[in-house]
Homo-oligomer: A and B are copies of this chain.
């Protein structure tokens, strides 16, 4: 159960030491340090490094994307703002009358406000 050094961790996970430092810098995996500052990668970190590789490869995303997702989950005001902005985009109103469409927009806005003030969980329908 010895912790690995950065070079050892790099070897067993397929990253380079350089990238492990980069991944740490963007906040994704921050290994413990020894007294003197050496990084220590344990089994958990190694596992996460490997699954991180898969995650990037399988979904065509970048480290920056994962870092942003992490930021979203840590910065509640941010995720709230992003969510409410995205929320205001259900589907395009087809050919509706101007009045009808305006009312629909206003109701949508009201729905968003309501969703924001009552901070309930929203369910993602399967």
A residues with a Cβ closer than 8 A to B are 1, 29-30, 32, 42-44, 47-48, 51-52, 55, 58-59, 61, 65-66, 68-70, 72-73, 75-78, 81-83, 85-86, 88-89, 92-93, 98-99, 101-102, 105, 108-109, 119, 121-124, 126
Contacts and interface: CB of A to CB of B under 8 A. Distances in A.
A126 to B, nearest CB: 6
Interface of A is mostly: helix
Contacts of A81: 55, 58-59
A68 B65 contact: yes
B73 A105 contact: no
Nearest to A76: B124
A123 to B, nearest CB: 5
Contact of A85 (B52, B88, B102, B109): B52
Closest 10 pairs between A and B when the two form their complex, measured CB to CB: A1-B98, A44-B105, A69-B82, A59-B78, A121-B123, A65-B68, A55-B85, A55-B81, A70-B86, A73-B86
